[in-house]
Structure 1
Amino acid sequence: MRVFISAGEASGDAYGAVLAREIAAGFDDRAAFEVAMLNLVSLRTPKPSKHVPADYEARRVLGRQEAWQFLAFGLIEDTGPECERGDDVFLHDCWNLLPIARRSFLDIAAVGGPRLRESGVRMVASSDRWGAVGILHSLAVVPKVYGGFRAAKRELATGDPGVFIPIDFGYANIRLARRAKRLGWKVLYLVPPGSWRRDRQGKDLPEIADVAVTPFPWSAEMLQKMGLDARFYGHPIKQTFREAAPEPVERGQGVVVLPGSRDAEIAANLPVLGVALHGLKVPIEFALAPGTDAEAVLAQWAGPPATAVVGETQKALLRARVAVVCSGTATLEAVLAKTPCTVVYQGSPQMRAEEKLLTRLGLWKRPKFVALPNILLDRELVPERLDPVDPVAVRRDVDALLDDSRARMLQLAAFHDLIQSLGPDDALTKAAAVVKEMGGGVGGR
């Protein structure tokens, strides 16, 4: 079975890594079986003495079955390191053969970032620096995106088609999905672009996808009416959040800052946040996306003393009392952590000029809400401090949320309903099952 995942943003990279793991589940069983059977054939059976027990043959067969079960389950339970330390050369050899056997049944390739790289899939291109804000910044990253886009096209055109899984990032993935369909691939679009919109969905999705797994129920309903097989299994962020923070975390009294996953966002947000949090007497911690240079961020920070963690957003949110979040899926992580927050998004002078021009031309209109919790509720629950950001207003929000204020209580009360509206917490596991069905892969566990 052949699978190709294309993820262009930090959240998509996280979803893709979990999805790849869930797709691989079950293929290890088959691979272990093949390795065991291949090697057990060569096992030498001791030559029986002339006094052969009546049940010798049955015992010999049973012994091989038990040996296979021991080996197969040992491999499935990931006991390789123990095998390497032991004296069982046979089991050690089988462990070394397992990745080869797995690849004979399943090949997962990907365009993605740190999470997908760590998952062990075959990387086609890196999307670490694909994210852009505004027209000028988008033009600056075009060479990087185009290089990855060409590599992805080559991957789609090489060998037999399989299942292509674009994740969000419509700029490149819509084009790749259309090409994949032409080449005979089946396409499952995970988190279709603009799926959060309540008034419309991407009109070309039914043409370029066989199945869409969308994070919002209204998106699934609209896409189904458009003729697409659309599924709502819950928001994938619930699964990634649960898996990233499986153990309870002690709640502290500090403020966690999520300044964005793109370099341009971080550079724009840090100065205004430094002013807003000046003189704050509680601990401040930056929660940075994987691949972000923590030392560089702290070097730019002109506010109170702060620490930084990379790739531990969920735990950082759980141990904070208040969050200051750059708009995006991170706002939903604050909801899942039950950490009251204020949303901040400072643009650059170029972005402001672009917004004015597009507004004047009738090509852009500022939406009613930009924070996902507010979009989901269709009302303002979390404050939105947007460009140009008033640092005084941000500080007022933070001070109120640090106290047991009415604003804090209102957010906490609404978080329960928001969490329920995001659906089950196994969306990626269910999406992986659909991928296996589409690819005709062997069964899962």
Structure 2
Amino acid sequence: MHLFFSVGEPSGDQHAAHLIRELRRRRPNVRCVGFGGEAMEAAGCEIHFRLTDLAIIGVFVVIPLLWKFWKLAQQARHYIEQQRPDAVILIDYSGFNWFIAKYAKRAGVRVIYYVPPQVWAWSEYRISRIRRWVDDVLCVLPFEPQWYAQRGIKVDYVGHPFFDEVAEHRLDEAFLDDWSSSKYRNVAILPGSRDSEVRHNFPLMVETMRRLNERHPNVRFLVACYKEKHRRFCGTYLMTHANRLPVHLFVGKTPEIIQAGEFCLMVSGSVSLEVLARGKPAAVMYWAPWPTYLIGRIVVNIKYASLPNLFVDREVMPEFIFVGNQKKLLTPLTEVLHGWLSVEDRLNAARHEMSELRERFAQTGATCHAAEIVLQRLTPASATTTAKAA
């Protein structure tokens, strides 16, 4: 079996890597190739281009890279037409992956969209692309099956792979022991996985940490950097703007930092699901330039930025969207975190609410379910019958 993957987000890289391992566990001779990242390569995928290096967000950021994306799309098209994989598996990253879906469909290759784009959130007209170019949709959010069904599209709900990844990860107990203390209180800082997210959000996070430190000198801030380059950026920024703050930078320790923190200050993203899975209270923030924000106000039709809030249609995680040079939201953001540090009942209430959501939504098994569906769809009925008989 020959599968072509196209994955552009760091979180998608993790989801694809787990799916590849599960597919190869069930079918050792499966060949996986395509666009992706380090995790997929470690799982045995032949990476033709490190697409996760181009993980960006925003209309205006994309423009300088349009030629690069077009060349990559043509590279994928030629490969699909000449090598004829059994299926193309797409994970999120819709702006680019729509082209891959179209080329594969025209070539007569089955298209499977695992973790489909959030067409329910903005630009609903894109649903027509799913109808035309996608054969199988494996959705991961609990409200998606009904949304698709109302529009006449049959999908398979598999659950979110993030919960599998959290359950499988063995925490570094030595790290947790080193950073547990009766003298200090830990706050987890999650500045995002994209370069642009870190660049724009971390300075706002530092100002929030500075304000908290003035009122709570016994608090230390553990920062979960996604890449070494992010750690270097954060370290340089701290040296020049806040070198006396009790901030500690780490790479590859996101689960441990979430676990060690009493609560999280996080950039909006899929990491909110890991925060949910660990039952941690969190305040969510995101920076956007004015043009992107104004366009979003027109095309986005959801009330919340973070997935746990969308699950229950209310603000379980307080959200703060910063626009341009606007910093007035730093005060209410700081007050929320100050309240958790100052009033134990507030923090306990937030913990209880997150624990209840975890019990409702943080279910495992998505990766196995997705692998099972992929193999079912790509295995001829006669072969399936023979395998069962054997």
- Please say if 1:2 is aligned against 2:7: no
* 1:109-153 deviation per Cα after TM superposition (whole angstroms, max 9, x unaligned): 131122112222111211123222322212133344334323322
- Please say if 1:386 is aligned against 2:292: no
Name which of 69, 82, 93 aligns with 1:169: 93
- Give percent identity, aligned residues only: 22
Report the residue type matching 1:273 in the other structure.
Answer: M
CA contact (8 A) 1:245 1:315 kept: no
Larger radius of gyration: 1
SS at match of 1:217: coil
d(CA) in 2 for partners of 1:141, 1:393: 37
What residue in structure 2 maps to residue 434 of structure 1?
373
Give the CA deviation at 1:328.
Answer: 1.2
CA contact (8 A) 1:235 1:422 kept: no
Name which of 296, 306, 321 aligns with 2:262: 321
Give the CA deviation at 1:10.
Answer: 1.2
Give the CA deviation at 1:281.
Answer: 3.4
CA contact (8 A) 2:121 2:302 kept: no
Change (3 A) 1:365 1:340: same
Give the CA deviation at 1:247.
Answer: 7.5
Q: How does 1:73-92 map to 2 (within 5 A)?
A: none
Name which of 60, 74, 77 aligns with 1:150: 74
CA contact (8 A) 2:209 2:221 kept: no
CA contact (8 A) 2:195 2:230 kept: no
d(CA) in 2 for partners of 1:306, 1:150: 45
Change (3 A) 1:243 1:140: farther
SS at match of 1:192: coil
What residue in structure 1 maps to residue 279 of structure 2?
338
SS at match of 1:108: strand
d(CA) in 1 for partners of 2:357, 2:168: 19
What residue in structure 2 maps to residue 178 of structure 1?
102
Return the TM-score normalized by structure 1: 0.74
* 1:365-413 deviation per Cα after TM superposition (whole angstroms, max 9, x unaligned): 5742212221111111211111134222222222222345443233222
What residue in structure 2 maps to residue 312 of structure 1?
253
Report the residue type matching 1:426 in the other structure.
Answer: G
What residue in structure 1 maps to residue 14 of structure 2?
14
Name which of 281, 293, 301 aligns with 1:355: 293
SS at match of 2:127: coil
Name which of 182, 189, 198 aligns with 1:257: 189
CA contact (8 A) 1:343 1:385 kept: yes
Return the TM-score normalized by structure 2: 0.84
What residue in structure 2 maps to residue 213 of structure 1?
138
Report the residue type matching 1:355 in the other structure.
Answer: Y
- In structure 1, list runs of 5 or more residues that go unmatched: 29-104
Report the residue type matching 2:341 in the other structure.
Answer: L
Report the residue type matching 1:352 in the other structure.
Answer: W
Give the CA deviation at 1:293.
Answer: 3.6
Report the residue type matching 1:374 in the other structure.
Answer: N
Change (3 A) 1:423 1:326: closer
Query: More deviation in 178-187 or 164-173?
Result: 178-187
CA contact (8 A) 1:5 1:111 kept: yes
CA contact (8 A) 1:163 1:186 kept: yes
d(CA) in 2 for partners of 1:330, 1:270: 16
d(CA) in 2 for partners of 1:165, 1:418: 30
CA contact (8 A) 1:401 1:408 kept: yes
Q: How does 1:69-148 map to 2 (within 5 A)?
A: 105-148=29-72
Give the CA deviation at 1:108.
Answer: 0.5
CA contact (8 A) 1:369 1:375 kept: yes
What residue in structure 1 maps to residue 337 of structure 2?
398
Give the CA deviation at 1:426.
Answer: 1.2
Give the CA deviation at 1:313.
Answer: 1.7
Change (3 A) 1:120 1:419: same
Change (3 A) 1:245 1:228: farther
Give the CA deviation at 1:174.
Answer: 1.7
d(CA) in 2 for partners of 1:186, 1:354: 34
- In structure 2, list runs of 5 or more residues that go unmatched: none
Change (3 A) 1:132 1:199: closer
What residue in structure 2 maps to residue 266 of structure 1?
198
What residue in structure 2 maps to residue 232 of structure 1?
157
CA contact (8 A) 1:130 1:144 kept: no
SS at match of 1:202: helix
Name which of 233, 245, 268 aligns with 1:296: 233
Give the CA deviation at 1:427.
Answer: 0.5
SS at match of 2:219: coil
What is the number of equivalent residue pairs in this alignment? 362
Change (3 A) 1:257 1:161: same
Query: More deviation in 119-128 or 282-291?
Result: 282-291
CA contact (8 A) 2:309 2:316 kept: yes
What residue in structure 1 maps to residue 27 of structure 2?
27
